[in-house]
């Protein structure tokens, strides 16, 4: 219990210290110590939680004596935040954001002040899912903070046009972490809502960091979409407390299924869809790219979007087989396919990563929506793999941008020669994202099987076509990085020590996750599923498949290593590339029809005529919006039908 309080409060404390820190060296020290403490606490906490509570299952904690104080403080902060949002939205003439914020906050304030809120026994809930999420947030999130210190120095060296607001930036990062911890260990819906809103608002503030017009527009887009979700969340709380007299998430999920319980579940799922940037709300996450890289890394990997899918996984048992589940799984599957198609057509590295995040979240969402044990197993694994690999890749792209001045994939041609270490990090990340036998693929496999079992041909369609498109954009990128362009020189690597530490940490984690996959599955995720579904024993991976996984894993590590050694010893005649006999001799130029050397340029395919944003964006958003409206409509229609 002490650990939990510490984990939630300590980041806020660090943030407070950081607001007062002007000096970069001091800031560095504070960030490093803060992050180290968070990581250590989280590890100790999870170990104790797992060892002590591994058989007794989930633990509820009552926080009775302080509840009133905490509730009042939370309400106060919420109202303060609302005032802030209203002020900012009036200042930037984006009134709708202010309105949404007022609507949500007023609902909750009314609920609390009117005394309608039933007394809550359990505010905090801690099970294996919370532990997994805590670990992800603590380790990945803190490493991103460490990375940010070095990155922001470079960033402000490159971008002198932006005001240095680091005294604002770093506290926000830590506030974010604190809010995430709060979110994943709260059981009380009002508490979850509180932390939910904090993540929305701090992401809004972080995206608007540079204060350019684009940044402000994008940050407000993020804000209104998330506030809309927040409004849905608030609606769910009001409904479940007043009608169902249910105040905690766990009670709601295990409430006997009926058309009445379905209403808050659907609303919560809707909130989660906005948060995890599913269609039609994907635009905000794409817009978030304008912020400095650590923000993107944080939003895309450990926090924010993960809050959405976390909630969906929690809701999965309640959604399984209902119209809410159908909505979530359809939206998720559809997003998986569409985002992966869009990822083919863009060449900006960060944008590809953004689309791939949306796409992967789509897969997790679809898994949660189907809500069988297999899919939730896959979804949980995906959350872990995605958090680590995406955070790593964002950081690597950021470092590449700082070193080469570009984050375009076309400019990453021959990165393996120019910046071998960063390229290597990228390769591990990409391999982790789609290559057999890494987690992503195993999860996809489990998901596909479950979708077939669920007899959902649409989802099967999404996943088969989506796998093809996913494979294309990753292979494209990988092949660019690995191209050995002649006569390219080693670039000076401007990556700082802290950044290296973070990247290396991520890479190690990635490899560990892959190697330990069977252990993770048996020791952590399968018991978690048993807990979530309140059944005795779950086993997803058949032993013989597990064996193949291990063999594959060995192959994929061992073959390149062995081949590397053989190749190093090998002597071969280096030969020119074939260019119809008119290679200039340097493998980079050919002789043109005027007998002049001409630079050869090789580019990837982008297939814009098929998958371009112009072609499919609007229609996809329309379809997704229609699905959501239709499903929520059905849920509410059922309700009135039932009442009559």
Partner 1 sequence: MAKLAKSPWLIHYDGSSCNGCDIEVLACLTPVYDVERFGVINTGDPKHADIFLITGGINSQNKAVVEQIYSQMPDPKVVCAVGICACNGGVFKDCYNIIGGVDKVLPVDVYVPGCAARPDAIIDGVIKAVGILEEKRKKKGGKH
Partner 2 sequence: MMLKTILGMVLYIVFAPFVGGLLAGLDRKITARMQGRIGPPILQPFYDVRKLINKDILLINNMQYLFAWCFVIFVVFTGALFYGGFNILLVFFVLTTAAMFFVLEATTTNSPYSVMGANREMIQMLSYEPMVLLTAVGFYVATAFTTGTGAGTFSVASIISESNIPNIVVLPGVFFGFAFILTIKFRKSPFDLSMSHHAHQEMVKGITTELSGGMMALIEVSHWYENVFLLGVVALFVLCNKWWSIPLAILVCAITYFVEILVDNTSARVKWENMFKHSWIITLIFGVVNIFILQMLS
Q: Which phi and psi angles does 240 have, rounded to 5°?
A: -70, -35
Among 63, 70, 244, 482, contact with partner 2 (rule: CB under 8 A): 482
Q: Which does 464 bind (CB under 5 to 8 A by kind): partner 2, partner 1, none?
A: partner 2
Residue 554 touches partner 2, criterion: CB under 8 A? no
- Complex with partner 2: residue 214 or 577, whichever CB lies closer: 577
615: number of Cβ within 10 Å: 16
Q: What track of x and - describes contact with partner 2 for positions 372 through 411 (by CB under 8 A)?
A: ----------------------------------------
Q: Give the angle subtended at the CA of 184 by the CAs of 180 and 190, to the nearest 5°.
A: 90
Contact 271, 310 (CB under 8 A): no
Among 68, 213, 573, 614, contact with partner 2 (rule: CB under 8 A): 573
- Smallest separation (angstroms) from partner 2 to the CB of 612: 14
- Complex with partner 2: residue 64 or 479, whichever CB lies closer: 479
Q: How far is CA 268 from CA 228, 230, 310, 375, in A?
A: 11, 9, 12, 19
Give the binding site for partner 1 (CB under 8 A): 575-576, 578, 580-583, 591
Number of residues that this document lists for the chain: 644
Range in contact with partner 2 (rule: CB under 8 A) among 277-285, 394-402, 430-438, 635-643: 430-438
User: Could you give the CA distance from residue 564 to residue 431 in angstroms, rounded to a whole number?
Assistant: 18
- Residue from 184, 218, 189 nearest 199 by CA: 184
Beta bridge partner(s), residue 599: 589
Among 16, 90, 113, 452, contact with partner 2 (rule: CB under 8 A): 452
- Smallest separation (angstroms) from partner 2 to the CB of 381: 15
- Residue from 620, 587, 421 nearest 506 by CA: 421
Residue 622 touches partner 2, criterion: CB under 8 A? no
- Smallest separation (angstroms) from partner 2 to the CB of 545: 6
Residue 582 touches partner 2, criterion: CB under 8 A? no
636: number of Cβ within 10 Å: 15
Residues 6+ apart with CB under 8 A from 521: 377, 381, 540, 541
Q: Which does 581 bind (CB under 5 to 8 A by kind): partner 2, partner 1, none?
A: partner 1
Q: Which phi and psi angles does 589 have, rounded to 5°?
A: -120, 150
Among 447, 480, 520, 620, contact with partner 2 (rule: CB under 8 A): 480
Q: Which does 582 bind (CB under 5 to 8 A by kind): partner 2, partner 1, none?
A: partner 1
Residue 581 touches partner 2, criterion: CB under 8 A? no
- List, in sequence order, the alpha helices (H) in 435-542: 439-453, 457-482, 497-515, 517-519, 526-533
- Smallest separation (angstroms) from partner 2 to the CB of 395: 24
Q: Is residue 551 classed as helix, strand or coil in its secondary structure? A: helix
Residue 449 touches partner 2, criterion: CB under 8 A? yes
Among 13, 63, 552, 623, contact with partner 2 (rule: CB under 8 A): 552
User: Could you give the CA distance from residue 384 to residue 137 in angstroms, rounded to a whole number?
Assistant: 10
Contact 437, 549 (CB under 8 A): yes
Q: Which does 40 bind (CB under 5 to 8 A by kind): partner 2, partner 1, none?
A: none
- Smallest separation (angstroms) from partner 2 to the CB of 631: 22
Q: Which helix (H) or strand (E) holds 591?
A: strand 589-591
Q: How far is CA 195 from CA 53, 104, 149, in A?
A: 25, 14, 25
- Smallest separation (angstroms) from partner 1 to the CB of 576: 6
Contact 522, 377 (CB under 8 A): no
Q: Which does 639 bind (CB under 5 to 8 A by kind): partner 2, partner 1, none?
A: none
Contact 466, 359 (CB under 8 A): yes
Among 121, 584, 587, 638, contact with partner 2 (rule: CB under 8 A): 587
Q: Which does 390 bind (CB under 5 to 8 A by kind): partner 2, partner 1, none?
A: none
Binding region for partner 2 (CB under 8 A): 413-414, 416, 435-437, 441, 445, 448-449, 452-453, 455, 457, 460-461, 463-465, 467-469, 471-472, 475-476, 478-480, 482-486, 544-545, 548, 552, 555-556, 559-560, 563-564, 566-568, 570, 572-580, 587, 600, 602, 604-605, 610
């Amino acid at each position: 219990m002490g650990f939990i309080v510490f984990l939630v409060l300590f980041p806020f404390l660090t943030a407070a210290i950081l607001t007062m820190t002007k000096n970069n060296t001091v800031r560095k020290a504070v960030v490093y110590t803060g992050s180290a403490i968070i990581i250590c606490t989280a590890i100790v906490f999870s170990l104790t939680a797992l060892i002590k509570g591994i058989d007794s299952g989930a633990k509820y904690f009552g926080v009775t004596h302080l509840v009133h104080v905490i509730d009042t403080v939370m309400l106060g902060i919420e109202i303060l935040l609302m005032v802030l949002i209203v002020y900012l939205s009036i200042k930037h003439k984006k009134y709708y954001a202010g309105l949404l914020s007022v609507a949500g906050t007023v609902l909750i304030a009314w609920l609390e002040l009117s005394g309608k809120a039933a007394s809550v026994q359990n505010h905090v809930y801690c099970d294996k899912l919370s532990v997994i999420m805590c670990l992800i947030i603590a380790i990945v999130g803190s490493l991103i903070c460490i990375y940010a210190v070095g990155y922001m120095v470079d960033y402000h060296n490159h971008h002198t046009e932006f005001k240095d607001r680091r005294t604002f930036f770093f506290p926000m990062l830590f506030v974010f972490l604190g809010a995430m911890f709060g979110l994943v260990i709260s059981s009380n819906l009002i508490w979850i809502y509180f932390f939910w809103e904090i993540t929305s608002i701090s992401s809004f503030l972080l995206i608007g960091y540079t204060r350019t017009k684009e940044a402000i527009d994008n940050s407000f887009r993020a804000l209104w979409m998330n506030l809309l979700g927040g409004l849905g969340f608030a609606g769910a709380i009001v409904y479940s407390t007043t009608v169902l007299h249910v105040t905690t998430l766990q009670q709601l999920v295990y409430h006997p299924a009926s058309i009445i319980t379905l209403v808050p579940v659907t609303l919560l799922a809707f909130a989660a869809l906005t948060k995890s940037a599913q269609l039609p709300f994907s635009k905000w996450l794409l817009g978030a790219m304008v912020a400095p890289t650590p923000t993107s890394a944080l939003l895309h990997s450990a926090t924010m979007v993960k809050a959405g899918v976390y909630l969906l996984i929690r809701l999965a048992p309640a959604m399984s087989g209902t119209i809410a589940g159908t909505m979530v799984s359809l939206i998720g599957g559809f997003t998986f396919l569409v985002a992966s198609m869009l990822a083919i057509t863009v060449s900006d590295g960060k944008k590809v990563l953004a689309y791939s995040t949306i796409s992967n979240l789509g897969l997790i969402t679809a898994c949660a929506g189907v809500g069988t044990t297999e899919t939730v197993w896959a979804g949980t694994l995906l959350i872990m793999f995605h958090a680590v690999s995406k955070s790593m890749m964002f950081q690597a792209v950021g470092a590449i941008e700082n070193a080469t001045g570009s984050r375009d994939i076309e400019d990453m041609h021959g990165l393996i020669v120019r910046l071998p270490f960063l390229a290597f990090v990228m390769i591990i990340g990409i391999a982790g994202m789609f290559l057999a036998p890494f987690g992503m693929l195993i999860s996809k496999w489990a998901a596909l099987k479950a979708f077939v079992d669920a007899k959902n041909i649409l989802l099967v369609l999404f996943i088969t076509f989506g796998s093809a498109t996913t494979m294309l954009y990753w292979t494209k990128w990988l092949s660019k990085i690995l191209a050995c362009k002649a006569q390219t020189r080693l670039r000076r690597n401007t990556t700082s020590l802290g950044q290296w530490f973070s990247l290396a940490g991520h890479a190690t984690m990635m490899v560990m996750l892959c190697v330990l996959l069977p252990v993770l599955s048996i020791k952590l995720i399968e018991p978690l599923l048993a807990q979530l579904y309140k059944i005795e024993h779950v086993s997803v991976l058949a032993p013989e498949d597990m064996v193949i996984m291990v063999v594959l894993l060995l192959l994929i590590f061992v073959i390149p290593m062995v081949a590397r050694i053989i190749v190093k010893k090998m002597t071969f005649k280096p030969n020119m590339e074939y260019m119809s006999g008119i290679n200039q001799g340097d493998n980079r130029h050919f002789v043109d029809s005027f007998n002049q050397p001409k630079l050869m340029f090789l580019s990837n395919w982008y297939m814009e005529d098929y998958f371009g944003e112009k072609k499919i964006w609007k229609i996809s958003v329309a379809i997704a919006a229609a699905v959501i409206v239709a499903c929520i409509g059905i849920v509410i229609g059922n309700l009135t039908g039932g009442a009559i």
